[in-house]
Structure 1
Amino acid sequence: MRLTPDTWIFWQHGIFKLNATIVFTWMIMAVLVLGAALITRHLSTDHKRSGWQNLLEIVVIAIIGQIRDVGLLNPRHHISFLGTLFLFIAAAALATVIPGYESPTASLSTTVALALCVFVAVPLFGITSQGLMGYLKSYMQPTPIMLPFNLISEASRTMALAVRLFGNMMSGAMIIAILLSITPFAFPIVMTLLGLLTGMVQAYIFTILAGVYIAAATATRSSKPAKVAPPTSEA
């Protein structure tokens, strides 16, 4: 029983290794890219549309709605990043029904990579929205004393994202593997279905948290309210 797909080695030459985490990660990315290319190859604006196009539009509209709900005023500007995050994590979880497949999100290296993507994307979106100086000033709000605490917060929440996703995905796989060894086959199937639901929830939570961080970084500070002149008495 493997604790992580990192230990499943397909090929090794010296320090270079090709493990299951890398292989399944690239397989998921290839399936997503190929699927998107095939579905969007013949898009239609008429009432008659393919079922795949309808499914894609439903997914995109749902993601845009969730991005808007977390406070991002221009969700279409962020859907390429947040939507990709959600689809990758969700696809990695749904593919666990395939025999012999192990989710790459059960590897700490994958979850750290996803969290680092968020870590880099947050300041990029923040600088794009507020400018370099405006974003850097946010680290000294409300007072310059908060600078080290805000920097620690940036690093700690990135680690928290990685560990949360890794822990939830790996624990689900471990429970199913243990149940397969000590219980009849029917019960682990139920747990596998529950694991699919857990994977979708984790994809949703990870994406929403990333959206919240980006929304906080891109939020423009309102200017000071203008002073209202006192009412003048009429003669």
Structure 2
Amino acid sequence: MQLTPDQDIILRLGEFGLNATIVNTWIVMALLVGGSVLVTRNLCPDVPPNRWRTLLETIVQMIQSQIGEITQTSARHVMYFAGTLFLFIALSNLLLVVPGFAPPTSSLSTTVALAISVLCAVPLFGIASGGLGRYLRHFIEPSAVMLPFNIISEFSRGISLAIRLYGNIMSGAVIAAILLGVAPFFFPVVMDMLGLLTGLIQAYIFAILATVYISSATADPPPPSPPEDAP
């Protein structure tokens, strides 16, 4: 049993090889881009919505409402980033039901890449919202003594995101493989259904945590407390 799609080399070009993680990532990206083009190619405000447009608007409104409840900034700007994370992870996990398809999210390299994208997005959103000086000041709040601890906290967020997503996806794959050996006719169906549910939940949690981190970087600083001798 292969624990990661990194071990499955699909195409070898000399000394370099394309493993299943890279190829399946391209497949997921192509499906997302192709589906978006097909759904939005005839998108006009004066045309009655069809079922695909209705489905698309429902998904977008759901993501935007969830983000709007968390962040204080414009939900639309955060939605572009967090919504893309959700759709990529969700579709990757949903394709688990396709025989022979290994979700790219079951590779630690993919989850680390997603976590790095969040680590890069947090300061970018923070600087764009309040400027470089205000973003850097939050590292020394409430005092300069907290500087190393705040820096460690920033990086630990990305590590926890990567390990959490990878661990949950891999644990489901390992359990499914064990149950497949015990009862190959019944448990695979049940595990596929649980895998779909778990995949959607993990995509939701990852996108929500990314939104929370961005919201904390773009939130307005608390007002200064009044002096103790003030009346």
TM-score by length of 2: 0.94
Q: Which amino acid aligns with 2:39?
A: I
How much does 1:222 deviate? Answer: 4.2
Q: Counterparts of 1:20 and 1:129 in 2: how far apart (Å)? A: 39
Q: Is the 8 A contact 1:176 1:191 kept in 2?
A: yes
Distance 1:15 1:161, change over 3 A: farther
Partner amino acid for 1:132?
L
Whether the 8 Å CA contact 1:9–1:17 is kept in 2: the answer is yes
Any conservation in 1 of the 2:73–2:218 contact (CA below 8 Å)?
A: no
Distance 1:141 1:194 in 2: 43
Q: Indicate the residue corresponding to 1:147 in structure 2.
A: 147
User: Secondary structure of the residue that 1:72 maps to in structure 2?
Assistant: coil
Aligned match of 2:214: 214
1:121 partner amino acid: A
Does 1:43 pair with 2:37? no
- In terms of mean alpha carbon deviation, does 9-18 or 32-41 score higher? 9-18
**Separation (CA, whole Å) in 1 of partners of 2:14 and 2:149:** 42
User: For residues 130 and 83 of structure 1, do their structure 2 counterparts lie closer, same or farther at Cα, with a shift above 3 Å needed?
Assistant: same
Q: 4+ runs of 1 displaced by more than 6 Å?
A: none
* DSSP-derived class of the 2:99 partner: coil
Q: How many residues align?
A: 229
Query: Rg bigger for which structure?
Result: 1
Q: Contact 2:180–2:188 at 8 Å: present in 1 too?
A: yes
Unaligned runs of 5+ in 2: none
Distance 2:118 2:169 in 1: 19
Query: What is the match of residue 233 of structure 1?
Result: none
Q: Percent identity?
A: 55
User: What letter corresponds to residue 69 of structure 2 in structure 1?
Assistant: D
1:1-235 superposed matches below 5 A: 1-13=1-13, 15-46=15-46, 48-224=48-224
TM-score, L = length of structure 1: 0.93
Give 2:192's aligned amino acid: T
In 2 relative to 1, CA 63–34 (structure 1 residues): closer, same or farther, beyond 3 Å?
A: same
Quickly say closer, same or farther: Cα 1:154–1:14, change in 2 above 3 A: farther
Distance 1:192 1:72 in 2: 38
Checking the alignment, whether the CA contact within 8 Å between 1:129 and 1:220 is kept in structure 2 is no
The root-mean-square deviation of aligned C-alpha atoms, in Å, is: 1.7
SS at structure 1 position matched to 2:41 = helix
Gap regions ≥5 residues in structure 1: 231-235
Checking the alignment, whether the CA contact within 8 Å between 1:92 and 1:103 is kept in structure 2 is yes
Counterpart-to-counterpart distance in 2, 1:40 and 1:47? 12
1:186 CA displacement: 2.0
**Counterpart-to-counterpart distance in 2, 1:100 and 1:176:** 14
